[in-house]
Structure 1
Amino acid sequence: MLSISAHKLRIIYLKKILAIVTIISIYTQAAVLHASITSSSSFTFELNSKKSETAKDTTYIKALNEKALHLRYFKTDSLLFFANKALHLSEEIKYTAGKSNALLLLANYHSDHGNNKEAISYYKKALTESKNISGSNIQLAIMNSFARSYYYNGNYAKSLSIYLEAVELATDAGNLKMLAVMNENIANLYKAQKDYEQALVFLKKSIKLNDSIANDLNSAKTYSNFASVYGEIGNFEHAMFNINKSITIFEEYNNIRWIAHSYRIKGDIYLKQQKYDWAIRWYDQSALLYNKIKNNRGKIELLNGLSYAYYGLEKDSISEVYAVEAYTKAQNINSISNVEIASNILYKIGKRKHDYENALTYLEVYKQVTDSLSKTENGHSLRMLKTKMDRDSQKETSAVVSKLELAKKQSFVYIIIAILLIWSVITFMMSKSRKAHKKLNTELQLKQVVLQNREEELEEINQTKDKLFSIIAHDLRGPIGALLDVLNMMKSGDIAISEFRDFVPKLIKDVDHISFTLNNLLSWGQTQMNGATTNSTTVELNSLVENNINLLAETAKNKSIILVNEMPERLHIFSDPDQIDIVIRNIISNALKFTPKGGVITVDAQVKYQFIEVTIKDTGIGMSDEALNKVFAQNGTYTTFGTNNEKGTGLGISLCKEMLENNGGNLWAKSKIGKGTSFYFTIPKGQDNYHQQIAG
């Protein structure tokens, strides 16, 4: 017994020594990192002390860009300052390389912060500038970051298109380093679609290229990705071998960001094996480093990992804290895949805690995001094929042009030779050459016209299809799927009938939403059919408004909202009454969704020339100009949640606009955040038969 106790004590002491060494190592690295960051302030002072002549020197601009690059994951505000300064100075002296690098840094800054629109704008500008620079290094770096930004947002087809173009450029330039990077990132695209076999093919290409140029740091990144893929397919032995190999290299280079990343991957591998304590141990070491740098995406993946590990240990309160933080951060930078992961674990936590309201809410979010990614990934197969076809078409066009050029050269040679022979032969060859050129040009023009016509037809069909599937996937499938899951849980005995009653109010709301959405969808579908007509007649507007107020009175009562009808009597319109009835119901329903309890919704109208202008005004939460533009965007289906988490179809306003335009009217709105929204629409004025009879 004594020997066993002594042996146990030795093991405990060894573990403590190992933990102390690990902590000292991490804090030593953090100290080096802190010293590097602190040096940026002295560098700023040095830059500000430069004379105006030096500020216009290319060496000075390079220093600005290099400093901004080093600060990307540490002091993003300083990155923004240095990059903007480098851009301004580069524009002054027309220094293309400096401008291109500065634009890339600004694009990366906005991408890291989830500002996708700004990031794409800067990437495009940077790419345009880089094409004026000899050599491929800058252009390839921009294309790599540009493609990665589309990958983060789930647009795999666009990402792949850029990567394929970059692979060709890197191959032509003999740039093996960037060729390895591109193959590795293409592997990540396949991993995101769970095509692990194809991902491994591209990773093997990448590691072979890295070995050929003896690039240890890039090889370590590839080993890390190998480990992640092997972990997903359950090959834990290979996964652990590769992650340990990558950690060793990263620690040799003291690369804090990638050390943190590799620690997280190692935690993921233990998590897959359900070794939750070991997973948390490596996640905690990763967190110590992530707290020293600013890598939002890596931090979110770490938080999701911690949440699942603590859930596995049945420590739901801790798991929920990490999951909520991950969910919030993922929404802030529009990281859809991380929203999916976080909403799934929050649903599981809510279900286990018997918090069915939250569980069902997060289940619906999870279903919507999963359906969205599933739809996107299914579409990606077609889009990737289309991308390949487009690229093949471009190659074919280029081949035709090359043939034309070759034919011209051959014709010139023939002419020179023919001059030495007979004039008749010269005339014959020139005539033949012209006919060949004309025929080739005609064929090329015809092909381009046919391709253009087909592309326009396909675009029109895709717009209608995308809108239809967007509504079905996001606004019908989610609530129906959630309803089915609850019914299955009750059938299988996961929840009792008494617990099922807790879900009933939420399910009733979902069914009401589904019914309303289907009505709108059927009405919109009818407007898209060939031969759909508008049957206009004279109708009293006030009766349409009053009928809809009575119909929606119960909804208004539940939210303590007052519906006020200030419509003048005997206002007649000339329109299709069924379509105008749908318009009024949709706009009032939207107002009810986005008006908090105790609010007021007012319906009014006035005669303006040959039209009646109707105003539906609410005291709700209002919208920003950007949101308002999205609501009225052509072919858009912008949706958001109401004040009581009511869901919108994103089709209502689009349907209203189409119907009003079919009736000779128009629709617009004004809104201010916190002050409410006013929708306005016009309808042709109708003849008042009552007054006609009196006058007669």
Structure 2
Amino acid sequence: MNWSLTIRSCVIATVTLSLYALSSVGIAQSNEADLYWELSENYNQNSNRDSAISILNRGIERFEESGTLEELATSYLYLGIRQQTYGKWDESAYAYTEALLLLENTKEYDWLKSKVYLYLGLLYIKTRVKDSDYYIDTAEKLALKSGNNEALFIIYKVTSRFEEGIEFAKRLGNNEYLTNYYYRLGKINKTTEKDYLDSAWAIIPSIPKALLQNFQLRIYLSDYFLEEELLDSALYYCKFAEEVAPLLNDDEVENHYLRTYSLIYQKMGDYEKAYKYRLSADSIHALYKTTKVDAVLIDLDEQRISYKKEVKNLTFQFRQKIRNFIILVLAVLLMLAIIIFNKKRKLNKELTESNKTKDKLFSILSHDLRGSIASIGRLAKKNKAEDLAQIKTGADAVLIEFDNLLFWSVKHLDKIELNHELVDLVEIIEEVYQLLETQFAEKNIRFIPDFADDCVAYADRNTLQLVLRNVLHNAVKYSPSDTNITVEISETSTTTTINVIDKGCGFGCDHEDKGLGLGLELCEEFVGLNNGKLVIVSSKEGSSVSIQLPIIS
């Protein structure tokens, strides 16, 4: 009995096949692209491949002029399926790419998108080039979202999730799906292979339904009997598969049964026939599995899909760009979170320091300034000429403290402006000494300058002057009468160091106010703002305060 002729006469008006079933079910009936696919399928059933492709190209031309996006994308998908069936895998890849470019930026058509991603992924699986997982995974997500059971059927199959597929098919009550999972599961479970094949045979829909499943089951049965060396049975089922193959009109299907024939005749010892079938299979395989196909797909794999519809090249770098964009967004969000957290922590710290600063300010106002002003008041009441020097000394002390307060408040309000430049240290030291000269004279303390006439440093003049004024004022204040205060300046190629040496009791002595107030704090902060360092060495014999400053920018 010639199955090809019998089946063809029964189903010539039925334009299904497995590819057609997977391509048209679920697409809106108003989609005119389906009509072009039916015409193409009629040509395909009559083995007119050129016309089958030509009619789909005519549909694309029409929809590019006046069709909808869905019709155009569907037509490209159909053209890709047809080209893939005929072994033109490179042209098939381009067609899928065109469909994907049209749909990429839309939030609709998830059903159709899942089909395009799936078929492109299948093409990569068949050619064994990388990155099929991305397309299969995307297809599954879209299929689950849109309820595309036809796509899920294939996805469970190509990802070898046969147990999950069996539950899926039973839930849908679809024997066509169930058959497929049974014979594929049998292929990987040799101990129960015959049971699965028998179960598949018992429930498979009869021809003309499930043509691809009927072909594959017979090939699987032929393979099983070949492994069991039941060669007559293997040959019987291979011939049965051959009779179904013309209805599929698929190069891969023809290649499959020809290779099975070759293996069977090789086992039978008929090497002439085995060689003949092997040559026929190789010639078909060479049509679609070519270096050109690999080159096209490898080239497409090195690019990712662009978001612009006018870009026609498939760019497989798209997924990487999206991943990098997500990482960048997460990094920015993380940075923003860190900035917000740090600002909040800084604000809390500033509030805490503000309270401490307020307490410190009250302490200074009540201690340093109050003491100096009270001394001036007492001397003024005496109204003696010899007290004028002491009044001036007290006034100078108050002036220094007020300057400290002014600089301190500006600093803590973040409004201080620094003008770093090369400054004449000799000039600044002389100005500070003149301001404190009365205090030196009152205690008969000798000022000993020990430096050259051309000493310089790279610093802000105002803040440096305040530092030196506080250091010298502190040295005079706590030095015994009739002693020396020496100011030394030494230089290296990059650093200038100012040493102020006194014979005071040192910072560890019993003077409760030794080094208190804003002066010392400002000195440390302002030396730091000038990229320098303040070093204090103190003992009972005296103190040495070193101010280290850069000599160049």
Q: TM-score, normalised by structure 1?
A: 0.37
Higher Cα radius of gyration: 2
Q: TM-score, normalised by structure 2?
A: 0.46
The structure showing larger relative contact order (alpha-carbon pairs under 8 Å, at least 6 residues apart) is 2
